[in-house]
Amino acid sequence: MTRGRLRSHRRPKRARRIGFTLVMATFTATVAGVALVASIPSASAKELYSELYAEGFHGTSTSADLWNASSPGGGHAPCLTAATAPTPPGSLPACAEGPYDRAGKGALRLTDDTGQETGSLLLARPIPTDRGLTVEFDMYMWGGTKYTDSNGSRAGDGISFYVVDADRSQTAAGEPGGALGYKGLAGAFAGVGFDQFGNFSNPRWAGVGGPRGCPAGGGNACARPNSVVVRGSESAGYAYASGRRLNHPLDTPEADTRKYARRHVLVGIGADSRMDVLIRHQDDGPYETVVSKLDLARLPGQSALPDEVRIGFASSTGYATSVHEISNVEIRTRDADLVLRTGYDGPFEAGGTATSFLDAGAGPGFGWIDHPTEVAYHLPAGLTPTAASGDGWTCDTSGQWVVCDTAGEAAPGTSLPRITVLMNVAADASGTLTASGRAVQITPYPDAEIDPLNNTVAGTVQVAPAGPPATWRTATSPLGRDGTDLPAGTRTA
Q: The sheet that has 338-345: what strands, in order across it?
A: 338-345, 353-362, 419-425, 383-389
Residue 493 has pLDDT above 50, yes or no: no
d(CA 93, CA 69): 9
113-125 pLDDT, tens digit each = 999 999 999 999 9
Mean pLDDT of 246-263: 96
Residue 372 exposed, middle or buried by CB count within 10 Å (0-12, 13-18, 19+): buried
Under the phi-then-psi rule, with left for phi > 0, alpha for psi from -120 to 50, and beta for the rest, what region is 254?
Answer: alpha
Question: What is the percentage of the chain residues whose pLDDT exceeds 70?
Answer: 83
Of residues 427 and 46, more confidently modeled: 427
d(CA 326, CA 324): 7
Phi, psi (5° rounding) for residue 398? -155, 115
210-235 pLDDT, tens digit each = 999 999 899 999 999 999 999 999 99
d(CA 143, CA 317): 12
**Pick from 289, 255, 259: which is nearest to 275 by CA?**
289
Q: Which amino acid is at 458?
A: A
What is the residue-averaged pLDDT of the chain? 85
Instruction: Give Dmax over CA atoms of the chain in angstroms.
Output: 109
- pLDDT for 216 equals 87
- pLDDT for 17 equals 33
**CB atoms inside a 10 Å sphere around CB 154:** 23
DSSP calls for 53-108? EEE---SS---TTSEEEEEEESSPPPEETT--SSPPTTSPPBPTT---S-TTS--E
Instruction: Give CA separation, 252 vs 37, 108, 225, 248, in Å.
Output: 46, 18, 14, 11
The answer to whether the CB of 28 falls within 8 A of the CB of 45 is: no
Q: How far is CA 130 from the centre of its chain?
A: 16
Checking DSSP bridges between strand 401-406 and strand 373-378, what pairing results, if any? antiparallel
| b/e code 406-437 from CB counts within 10 Å (16+ = b) | bbbbbbbeeebebbbbbbbbbeebbeebbbbb
Cis peptide before 130 (omega within 30 of 0): no
d(CA 355, CA 345): 5
d(CA 37, CA 105): 45
Phi, psi (5° rounding) for residue 88? -60, 155
- pLDDT for 4 equals 55
Of residues 90 and 52, more confidently modeled: 90
DSSP 16: P
The answer to whether the CB of 63 falls within 8 A of the CB of 87 is: no
58-95 pLDDT, tens digit each = 999 999 999 999 887 667 789 999 999 999 999 999 99
DSSP 118: E
Of residues 467 and 161, more confidently modeled: 161
d(CA 197, CA 199): 6
Helix (H, G, I), strand (E, B), or coil: what is residue 178?
Answer: helix
- pLDDT for 172 equals 74
d(CA 158, CA 150): 19
Strand residue runs (E) in 100-157 = 108-111, 118-123, 127-128, 133-142, 147-149, 152-154
Domains of the chain: 51-333 (2.60.120.200), 338-464 (2.60.40.740)
Of residues 179 and 469, more confidently modeled: 179
340-372 pLDDT, tens digit each = 999 998 789 999 999 999 999 999 989 999 889
Note the pTM of the prediction, 2 decimals. Answer: 0.81
Strand residue runs (E) in 233-345 = 240-245, 262-269, 274-280, 287-295, 308-316, 323-332, 338-345
- pLDDT for 71 equals 86
**Pick from 444, 487, 492, 484: which is nearest to 467 by CA?**
492
Residue 12 has pLDDT above 80, yes or no: no
First to last CA, the chain: 77
Checking DSSP bridges between strand 108-111 and strand 471-473, what pairing results, if any? unpaired
- pLDDT for 11 equals 36
- C-alpha torsion sign, points 296, 302, 304, 308: negative
* pLDDT range class, residue 30, cuts 50, 70, 90: very low
The C-alpha angle with vertex 307 and arms to 306 and 308, in degrees rounded to 5, equals 90
Residue 387 has pLDDT above 60, yes or no: yes
